Amino acid sequence: MKSTTHKSKRATLLGPLPECPYLESSTALRVRFSEVDALQVVWHGHYANYFEEARRAFGRQYGVDYPVFLENRVAVPVVQLSVDYFAPARLNDLLEIKTRLLKSEAAKLIFEYEIRREGETSLLVCGRTVQVFTTLVGELILAWPQFMEERLAAWESLWQKPSDPPG
């Protein structure tokens, strides 16, 4: 039986790499004892937390971390989460999480994630989250908040195109 590469696995489950422009960051995270089961394999539910940590690092890099949202009196709840598992991460693995924010015309944040052991090419996990903007009491905001429009304008020269080399 022919082995499937990480690129074709990702393409099968999430589709090809983004067709639209994206911003990208990379985060390192070490698997802790409290995150593994008796076989020293990361429990599947912890990957949502790994995505969160990577999203926060992305936010700090690009000026859209949760304190910025709160300062601007908006919340950004996750409304969709998908995860595809290919191979387990294990106790003490150093993971590299690549996070991409896809450019969107709609007022929402679409993130894609790829998790690998640092220095390896094999994909362990990939996933996606979608967040929307709401008021602090939960009312949906359908247009980009002003501070996000400013960031989008500032990012205009930073968006990577799908044909660009990975950053």
Task: Report residues of the chain scoring pLDDT below 70.
Answer: 1-18, 164-167
Per-residue model confidence (pLDDT) at position 162: 83
Q: Quick one: pLDDT at residue 1?
A: 41
The CB density around residue 62, as the number of other CB atoms within 10 Å, is 16
- Residue 3 pLDDT: 43
| Domain boundary assignment for the chain | 6-154
Q: Which CATH architecture has domain 6-154?
A: Roll (3.10)
pLDDT tens digits for range 62-79:
999 999 999 999 999 999
pLDDT score, position 158: 96
Q: Which helix H or strand E contains 88, and what residues bound it?
A: none
Buried/exposed 67-97: b ≥16 CB within 10 Å, e otherwise: ebbeeeebbbeeeeeebebbbbbeeebebbb
Coil/strand/helix, residue 39: coil
In total, the chain counts a number of residues equal to 167
Instruction: Give the pLDDT confidence score for residue 85 in this predicted structure.
Output: 97
Burial of 166 (0-12, 13-18, 19+ CB in 10 A): exposed
